[in-house]
Amino acid sequence: MLSATDVSFAYDGTPVLAGVSLAARSGGVVGLIGPNGSGKSTLLRVLYSALRPLGGVVLIDGTPVSGLRGRELPRRIAVVAQEAPPELPVTVAEMVLLGRSPHRSSLQSYTADDHRIAATALHRVGMRDHADRGFATLSGGEKQRTLIARALTQQTGHLLLDEPTNHLDIHYQHEILHLVRDLGITTVVVLHDLNLAARYCDHLVLLDSGLVAASGPTEEVLTPEVLEPVYRVTVRTIDDGDCRQLVFRPTEAARAQDGLPALGVPAGHDAVSEPDRG
């Protein structure tokens, strides 16, 4: 289990998170959702100890994350961050093998078992045929799948992903998130696409300006009553059989606040009433 209790954080004195709590239970998938700038990526960085919170505590299976040293942390948590790694002159296979590093000393060579684990991870993300290609030559989507394979190769009990579907086409967006869900490990994932969150997450934490606006089972968070005040859009829900899906439409009030013309009115024209033809 991965949990955060009353976590706060600020950049240069500007509050970004204020009293945020979450609990990612064993084997569950928790989605962090919210508008741009709501604190999702910052919270994820706090969870894997890349940022030290001003207040609150993060625990992994009851142990403070801040107390894990050296190889202990990457043996417990695998991370796929937004930031691309340096363009190292390595092949795809070599990049994925780096996921085995926490399990080896700096002087140990990779074993046949390490290579088998890496090859399996590459196959699972659809990159096995690209194993010998240079990592730097890959497209954005191919790099993302390679980095997810590297995280799988760590074989941790906890997986954190920051917008893992960026740069992926629709097929691989669903392929990757379906894979993540089927891993059966504790997962926290930042997502912008609420319909992907609806389909693949068990629990959602909705952030708004650094605060938790809602938290709970996916079907309880993804409702018009919860989403409309945060995203400033009209939300309509559709029952897709096994999953609730959402349809969005900007509100006139939000467009006016953003200085945009009324819906159906071309830019540069004022909204006017039709003349009375009676």
pLDDT tens string 97-137? 999 999 987 778 899 999 999 999 999 888 999 999 999 99
- Tell me the residue type at 83: E
Distance CA 142, CA 5 (A): 36
Does domain 2-257 fall into CATH 3.40.50.20? no
pLDDT given at position 158: 95
The residue extents of the domains of the chain are 2-257
**Which stretches within 23-131 are classed as H helix?**
40-47, 72-76, 92-97, 112-124
List pLDDT tens digits, range 51-83. Answer: 999 999 999 999 999 889 888 999 999 999 987
**Bridge-based pairing state of the strands 29-33 and 55-60:** unpaired
For range 244-267, the mean pLDDT = 68
Question: Residue 91: CB partners within 8 Å, gap ≥ 6?
Answer: 131, 132, 133, 134, 135
pTM of the model: 0.86
Distance CA 150, CA 145 (A): 9
- 10 Å CB burial of residue 135 (0-12, 13-18, 19+) is buried
CA nearest neighbour of 168 among 141, 194, 193, 148: 141
pLDDT given at position 167: 78
Q: How confident is the model at residue 182 (pLDDT cuts 50, 70, 90)?
A: confident
